[in-house]
Amino acid sequence: MNSSSLQEIDLEEPSNKTLMGDGFALLYNDASGVVHDVYKLDLYTRELTEYVVSNPVSELMVTESGNFAVAVVRPENNSGGDYQDSRYGISILDLSSDQSISLVAQSQPIGMALVEDEGNSFALALLAGSNTLLQVNLANPNSPVEVDLPAPPVSIAAMPDGNFVITHNQSLGMVSILDPSTLELQTMSNFAVTNLFEQKELPRTEGNEEAE
CATH topology of 11-104 equal to that of 106-195? yes
Q: What is the pLDDT of residue 8?
A: 82
CATH level 3 topology of 11-104: Thrombin, subunit H (2.40.10)
Distance of CA 195 to the CA centre of its chain: 35
Domain 106-195: assigned CATH number = 2.40.10
| Domain spans in the chain, listed from the N-terminal domain onward | 11-104, 106-195
Tens digits of residue pLDDT in 174-201: 999 999 999 999 999 887 655 544 544 5
Q: What is the pLDDT of residue 194?
A: 54
pTM of full prediction above 0.85? no
As a three-state string, the secondary structure of the chain is CCHHHCCCCCCCCCCCEEEECCCEEEEECCCCCCCCEEEEEECCCCCEEEEECCCCEEEEEECCCCCEEEEEECCCCCCCCCCCCCCCEEEEEECCCCCEEEEECCCCEEEEEEEECCCCEEEEEEECCCCEEEEEECCCCCCCEEEECCCCEEEEEECCCCCEEEEECCCCCEEEEEECCCCEEEEEECHHHCCCCCCCCCCCCHHHHHHC
Q: Which residues of the chain have pLDDT under 50?
A: 1, 3, 196-197, 199-200
Distance between CA 22 and CA 95 in Å, rounded? 12
Contact status, residue 38 vs residue 26, Cβ threshold 8 Å: yes
